Amino acid sequence: MSKPSLIRYAILLALIALWFLVTAMEWVKPIQLPPPAGLWAAWQADGSRFLDAFALTAAEIAVAILIAWPLGIGIGAVFGSLRAVSEAASAILGSLFAVPAIILYPLFIAWVGMGPESKVLFGVIAGFFPIALNTLSGVRQVDQSYVTMGRAMGASRLQVFYRVVLRLALPSVISGLRIGTALIMISVVVSEMLASFGGLGYMIAYHRTMFDTGHVYLGILMALLTVLTVNWLLSMLESHFSKWQERGAEL
Amino acid sequence: MRLSVLLGAQAGFFVLLAIVWESISRLELVDPRLLPSFLTVLGVLGDLLTQRDFLMDLGITGLEVGVAFIIAAPLGVSIGFLLGEKLFLGQILSPMFHFMLSVPQSIFLPIFMLLLGIGFLEKVVFGVTHAIFVIIVTTTAAVRSVPRDYVTVARTFGATPRQIYLRVYLPAMLPVVMTGLRLGMIFNIIGVLLAEMDASRAGIGRRLFSWGEGFQLDLLLAGILLVSALTIIINEVMRYCEHRAARGHVA
Amino acid sequence: MSSEVIRVENLSKMYSTREGDFHALDKLSFAIEEGGFVSIVGPSGCGKSTLLQLLTGLLEPTSGQVLIDGIEVRKPLPEKTGVMFQDATLLPWLTAEENVAFPLSLCGKDKKESQLRARDLLKLVGLGDFINHRPAELSGGMRQRVAIARGLVRDPRILLMDEPFAALDEQTRFKMGEELLWIWQETRKTILFITHGLTEAIYLSDTVLVMGTKPGRIIEVIPVDLPRPRTFEMIGSEFFGKARNRIWTLIQEETEA
């Protein structure tokens, strides 16, 4: 292992040690930062409720992904391949992406209620933009000589699009999926925190008002681990599909 | 020329959006209680902008966002610059900041509320943590992107270290740093609005949330319109500065 | 039955731009015999690439026509013409073999058969040991060889090449030229070769067509009366020098006009 990464692990260990120390010495109030044992206690007390909440959140996330992925890739691919409008479409999507999606959440509550529907809707909106934007720019940046070559080899326009263009844009599409999916997951949890009757975010928010700090930190930890795991899986996928690209760039 | 076409397309899109919205509610395709017409909402927005306490709320949010940015920008740029310059330090810390950037900070909101209480300070600190990592990471990337040849050439002409910093590094880095600052600003706004929506006594985020809960959709939509317009304007202005800074740069 | 494989008759191409009509090609006519090797040289912007796009059927002429095997070209005819560009445009996620077989997979050919065919062709271009390498693992010259093999995979009678070796270094470029001549002799294809390199054009071809610019047209046909096989020494011969000077002067006059 290299020296810098050793030092990084040392810093991480030091932070965890600091957590033990600060809470053991009661330098902060337990209702602000629980000792590590507090998380364990919360798990023992309410583990099954946390798992139920997790299942609901995971289901909301899954539905949002099932909608946002095809929607984002579809719209991005269509506008990316329409050369005449792709630049304008990219600018419009880009400025819409700058609007904090969170301000739409109250609207979704008013429209579809506080149930899982509003979480899914919010997740879809939050995840859609990076997916569409990345797909669009990936498709747009495909070298036109590939299209010419494909056509000269007798491929139909559709064949060129599916077998050449989309495939060349894949690394960019997947990196959009990674960013978009992280946003979907976090938006679902955060919207549960703001207003809901269930889910991991609800558990976090409810126990914060009760000052069950161990529960709050446990909930956050669970949400965080979910996000990180999915993120990691998608980045594996990303590096798998961009391997040839990186090596190509080196030459 | 190119820029004006793009701006025209963007403006055209928003006008189209407004027309579609207006027609939907005029034709009563959806319940006007759920979607008041665009012109009605515009009228409500006009009223809002003359109300003292609404303007106070807007001002408070603006102040939180502003203070957070004034703290995050110089701090983030300095740390990023240091990490880019001091190679060993960069090797240790850069991956940590990259990691922090990939972790969605919104999820930590309850922790900030527990540690700092609910109020101005919590909003500002939350805004800072949203903004700072992207600023650090892009600044580090900016330093590393300055071609070594530029520095070598400047040295052979006898430039002093000070001159190298001010006349070579700074202008060469500027476009990338500006991108980081723009993204930092967007994240900062998201952070502050989210913190206000979750729990606060003032600010535009609180307003939006209570309008949503109270089914006051005309007010809610007016607020959404205003915040969207403001963030799009902030984003576009910063993007314009970015283009200006990038003028004359290759790639 | 004539032995002309390519026949270009009064071929013109106009583009309408905001500044008015632009005459890219004006009444081009020429023919290439079966098994011939013809090069086209000319100053930048003389419409060489437009000509190639017309020959492949990617563009429609404004007037005139292109006949391949007596058939008017209106769309790409991959079974009759193989194409190669300056950029190898290999698909980076496919191996050399899969890249060569790609045109076959587009028209739904049997996979096993395609594989064997691709392998044979890679052997022909001297890449028998690299069938499972991806483009990123190959040098620039090797990638162009894969592209040649891909151009040949549907066994077309014609190979159209648009500055195929322009991005390679001088030495590799010369070697690729030798290689191409060898492949040409082996396969008896008809080759139309577009290039910027005068030496390359004369060295490889039976005939060099010199194009002029504004509008693009053929200004001179230069037969290369050198015996085959060509050798490196011929480049220093009197004939070679004269031909090169002639073309150089023609192009020079075109760019100054």
Instruction: Enumerate residues 6+ apart whose C-beta is below 8 A from C119.
Output: C97, C128, C131
Give the mean pLDDT of B185-190.
94
Question: Is the pLDDT reported for residue A70 higher than 90?
Answer: yes
Please indicate if any CB of chain C lies within 8 Å of the CB of A3.
no
Tell whether B24 lies on the interface with A, counting CB pairs under 8 A: no
Quote the pLDDT of residue B1.
45
Yes or no: say if A161 and A81 are a contact pair by the CB < 8 Å rule.
yes
A148/C58 CB distance under 8 A? yes
State the Cα–Cα distance between residues B180 and B175, nearest whole angstrom: 9
Long-range contacts (CB closer than 8 Å, 24 or more residues apart) made by B220-225: B220/A106, B220/A107, B220/A110, B221/A107, B221/B35, B221/B36, B221/B41, B221/B44, B222/B41, B222/B42, B222/B44, B222/B45, B222/B48, B223/A103, B223/B48, B224/A103, B224/A104, B224/A107, B225/B41, B225/B42, B225/B45
What's the domain range around B61? 52-246
Judged by CB atoms closer than 8 Å, whether chains meet at A11 and B96 is answered as yes
- pLDDT tens, per residue, chain C with 257 residues: 458 889 999 888 888 777 777 888 888 889 898 889 999 998 877 788 888 888 988 888 888 889 888 888 888 888 888 998 888 889 888 899 999 999 888 888 888 889 999 999 999 888 889 999 988 888 888 999 999 999 999 889 999 999 888 888 888 888 898 889 988 988 889 999 999 888 899 999 999 999 888 788 888 888 888 888 888 888 888 888 888 999 898 888 887 76
Q: What is the pLDDT of residues B203-217, one digit of tens each?
A: 999 999 999 888 899
Is B251's pLDDT higher than 60? no
Note the pLDDT tens digit of each residue in B15-25. 999 999 988 88
CB nearest C76 (choices: A151, A163, A168): A151
pLDDT computed for residue B195 by the predictor: 93
Distance from CA of B163 to the nearest CA of A (A): 32
Q: Which structure tokens are listed for A23?
A: 């809470």
Residues whose CB is less than 8 angstroms from the CB of residue C112 and which lie 6 or more positions away in sequence, other chains included:
none
Enclosing H/E stretch for C30: strand C20-33
For residues B221-229, give the mean pLDDT.
Answer: 94
C188, burial (CB in 10 Å: exposed 0-12, middle 13-18, buried 19+):
exposed
Specify the 3-state DSSP secondary structure of A236: helix
- Phi/psi at A25 (5° precision): -85, -5
Establish if B27 belongs to a structural domain. Answer: no
Q: Which helix (H) or strand (E) holds C222?
A: strand C217-223
Q: Is residue B177 part of a domain?
A: yes
Tokens of A244: 């040839």
pLDDT-based confidence at residue A245 (cuts at 50, 70, 90) = low
pLDDT of A246 reads 45
Under an 8 A CB cutoff, do A204 and B213 touch?
A: no
Place of tokens 């050198």: C226
Name the burial class of residue A152, with classes exposed (0-12), middle (13-18) and buried (19+) by CB atoms within 10 angstroms of its CB.
buried
Cis? peptide before C43, omega within 30° of 0? no
Provide the pLDDT for residue A6. 86
What pairs with residue C72 in β-bridges? Answer: C67
The residue ranges of every structural domain in chain A are 42-244
Which residues contact residue C22 at a Cβ distance below 8 angstroms, ignoring those fewer than 6 apart?
C14, C15, C16
Asked if A185 and B227 come within 8 Å (Cβ–Cβ), the reply is: no
Q: What are phi and psi of B50, to 5 degrees?
A: -100, -5
Q: Are B199 and A194 in contact (CB under 8 A)?
A: no
How many other CB atoms sit within 10 Å of the CB of residue B42?
14
Q: CB contact, 8 Å: B213 with chain A?
A: yes
Compute the average pLDDT of residues A18-37.
Answer: 86
User: Where does residue B144 fall: left (phi above 0), alpha (psi -120 to 50 degrees), or beta otherwise?
Assistant: alpha
Q: How many domains does chain B have?
A: 1
CATH number of the domain encompassing residue B102: 1.10.3720.10
Q: Does C touch B (3+ CB pairs < 8 Å)? A: no
- Using CB atoms, pick whichever of B194, B213, B236 lies closest to residue A95: B236
Q: In angstroms, rounded to a whole number, what is the distance separating the alpha carbons of residues C29 and C42?
A: 16
pLDDT category of residue B58 using cuts at 50, 70 and 90: very high
Name every chain C residue with its beta carbon within 8 A of the beta carbon of A241.
Answer: 93
Q: Is residue B175 pLDDT above 60, yes or no?
A: yes
| B208 Cα to chain A: minimum distance (Å) | 7
Report how far residue A133's alpha carbon sits from residue A71's, in angstroms, rounded to the nearest whole number. 12
The region of weakest confidence among A7-11, B243-247, C196-200 is B243-247
Contact with chain C for residue A167, Cβ under 8 A: yes
DSSP type of residue C163: S
**Whether the predicted pLDDT of A251 surpasses 50:** no
Kindly tell me if the per-residue pLDDT of A141 is higher than 80.
yes
- Chain-centroid distance, C-alpha C248: 21
A95–B235 C-beta distance less than 8 A: yes
3-state helix, strand, coil in chain B (%, to 5): 85, 0, 15
Average pLDDT of the residues in A158-184: 91
Query: What pLDDT shows up at residue B134?
Result: 93
Neighbour-count burial of C153, counting CB atoms closer than 10 A to its CB (0-12 exposed, 13-18 middle, 19+ buried):
buried
CA-to-CA separations, C177 to B177, C99, C226, in angstroms, rounded: 48, 22, 16
Band the pLDDT of A122: cuts 50, 70, 90.
very high
Using a CB-CB cut-off of 8 Å, the residues of chain C touching A167 are: 91, 93
What are the distances in angstroms from CA B218 to CA A112, A194, B43, C176? 17, 21, 9, 72
Specify if B5 maps to a domain: no
CB C136 within 8 A of CB A251: yes
d(CA C36, CA C44): 25
Nearest by CB to C103, from A153, A241, A250: name it: A153
Chain A residues within an 8 Å CB radius of C60 = none
Q: Which of A176-185, B59-68, C55-64 has the lowest mean pLDDT?
A: C55-64
- Closest in A152, A167, A168 to C83, CB measured: A152
Whether B20 contacts chain A with CB within 8 A: no
Band of pLDDT at residue B115, cut at 50, 70 and 90: confident
Residue B31 lies in a domain: no
* C-A interface (Cβ pairs under 8 Å ≥ 3): yes
Residue B64 lies in a domain: yes
Answer whether A20 touches C (CB < 8 Å): no
Q: How many CB atoms lie within 10 A of CB A10?
A: 11
Contact in structure between C87 and C113 (CB atoms under 8 Å): no
- Domain assignment present for residue B180? The answer is yes
What's this model's pTM, rounded to 2 decimal places?
0.83
Considering only the beta carbons, identify the residue of B6, B224, B228 that sits closest to A88: B6
Report the DSSP pairing between strands C4-17 and C63-68. Answer: antiparallel
Across the interface, whether the CB atoms of B96 and A107 are under 8 A apart is answered no
CA atoms within 13 A on the CB side of C142: 18
Nearest CA in chain B to A206: B110
- Report how far residue B164's alpha carbon sits from residue A103's, in angstroms, rounded to the nearest whole number: 45
Percent of chain A with pLDDT over 70: 96
Q: Which CATH architecture has domain A42-244?
A: Orthogonal Bundle (1.10)
| Confidence label for A124 from pLDDT (cuts 50, 70 and 90) | very high
Residues 6+ apart with CB under 8 A from A158: none
CB atoms A193 and B198 under 8 Å: yes
In this complex, the residue of A100, A106, A224 whose CB is nearest that of residue B209 is: A106
Q: Is the pLDDT of residue A250 over 60?
A: no
Query: Is 0.90 exceeded by the ipTM?
Result: no
Give residue B231's pLDDT: 93
Whether the pLDDT of residue B250 is over 60: the answer is no
User: Is A77's Cβ below 8 Å from some Cβ in C?
Assistant: no
Task: For chain B, give the mean pLDDT.
Answer: 87
Q: What is the count of residue pairs from A and B with beta carbons less than 8 Å apart?
A: 128
**Rounded CA separation C188/C157 (Å):** 8
CA A180 to chain B, closest CA, distance in angstroms equals 12
Interface of chain C toward chain A, CB-CB under 8 angstroms: 53, 56, 58, 76-79, 81, 83, 85, 87, 89, 91-93, 102-103, 106-107, 134-137, 150, 154
Which among A3, A8, A103 is the top mutation candidate for probing chain B, defined by the most B β-carbons within 10 Å of its own β-carbon?
A: A103
- Shortest Cα distance, chain A CAs vs residue B10, angstroms: 5
φ, ψ (nearest 5 deg) of residue B36? -60, 155
Structure tokens at A199: 């889910």
B215: in domain: yes
Distance from CA of B71 to the nearest CA of A (A): 21
Share of chain A above pLDDT 90, in %: 46
A101 DSSP assignment: G
Using CA of residue A110, residue A113, residue A114, residue A118, what is the dihedral sign?
negative
The residue type of C194 is: I
Domains of chain C as residue ranges with CATH? 4-80+158-256 (3.40.50.300), 86-155 (no CATH)
- The verdict on a CB contact (< 8 Å) between A88 and B194 is no
> Which class for C214: exposed (0-12), middle (13-18), buried (19 or more C-beta within 10 A)?
middle
Q: What is the structure's pLDDT at A218?
A: 93
The pair of structure tokens assigned to A181 is 């999916």
Q: Tell me the residue type at A57.
A: T
Chains touching C (3+ CB pairs < 8 Å)? A
Cα end-to-end span (Å), chain B? 20
